[in-house]
Amino acid sequence: MKRIRNIKVTNISQLSPNMKRITFHSKDLFDFPENEDGGYVKLLFNQKSSSNSFLRPYTIRSFRKKKLELDIDFSNHFGNQGYATKWASRAKIGDEILISGPGLKKQINENSDWFFFVGDMTAIPAIACYLERIPKNAVGFVVLEIISKDDKIKVVKPKNIKIKWVVKSKQNPSVLVDTVKKINWLNGKPYVWVACEFHKMKGLRNFFQKKKKISKNEMYISSYWKLGLDQEEHKLVKKEDSVEWDNN
């Protein structure tokens, strides 16, 4: 069982209209491991143990060991409907919450010829962490779907990584997938990293795996949420899909 820690809100920053950063501090973080940026913790709601059903995974945006400070970015990607987004929208200095973790951090192949990152606002924190960590001479593309043009945030990245921001559209719900398909492919073998809504993830997975022949060991692809489902329902659908994909 992952250790449960109680952490307290010490700062709140509005990064964009639909993204806020909440900084937490706690003496409970004294044994929290370093170098976990881009990994995740789970926020616990309503109960006092990790066995409760209200667990919400969030990316560790930054952890500062000396100050015992943890940054988590929250996106308002689907309105204030879920436990975590509701909590984050109302959070104030001094509020406390329980977390478990960190969970297993996904490693990427940093020796790839180039990189292709794709995500919506829920994936921006993780992608930002990877961009800060990959070699300074790395080349490649990032395609990020945001809710409004004002949701572009400053991202530290290698100079030869190009970012394409696309604004989510009700008129064209496939704008993220369509934009990815139009990117001119580079020479060599890329490492592909994708995280977004379930249906879009499946469209992108099909494109990268079947059209571009990217093998599973050179690709991380995951859905962080599914339109119309809560986290528990999404988790079941995601598990079924993962089993099916693994068997292909």
pLDDT tens string 194-218: 999 999 999 999 999 999 999 999 9
* pLDDT at residue 47 greater than cutoff 70: no
**Domain 114-246 CATH assignment equals 3.40.50.80:** yes
Q: Where in the chain is the domain with CATH 2.40.30.10?
A: 4-100
49/43 Cα distance (integer angstroms): 11
* pLDDT at residue 230 greater than cutoff 80: no
pLDDT of residue 169: 86
pTM: 0.92
List the structure tokens of 243: 């089993």
Are the C-beta atoms of residues 37 and 173 closer than 8 Å to each other? no
Going by C-alpha positions, the residue among 29, 6, 3, 5 that lies closest to residue 96 is: 6
124/120 Cα distance (integer angstroms): 7
If you average pLDDT over residues 4-9, what whole number do you get?
96
The 3-state DSSP class for residue 25 equals: strand
Q: Where in the chain is the domain with CATH 3.40.50.80?
A: 114-246
List the structure tokens of 182: 């139009």
CATH topology of domain 4-100: Elongation Factor Tu (Ef-tu); domain 3 (2.40.30)
55: left (phi over 0), alpha (psi -120 to 50) or beta: beta
Considering the chain, what is the average pLDDT of its residues? 90
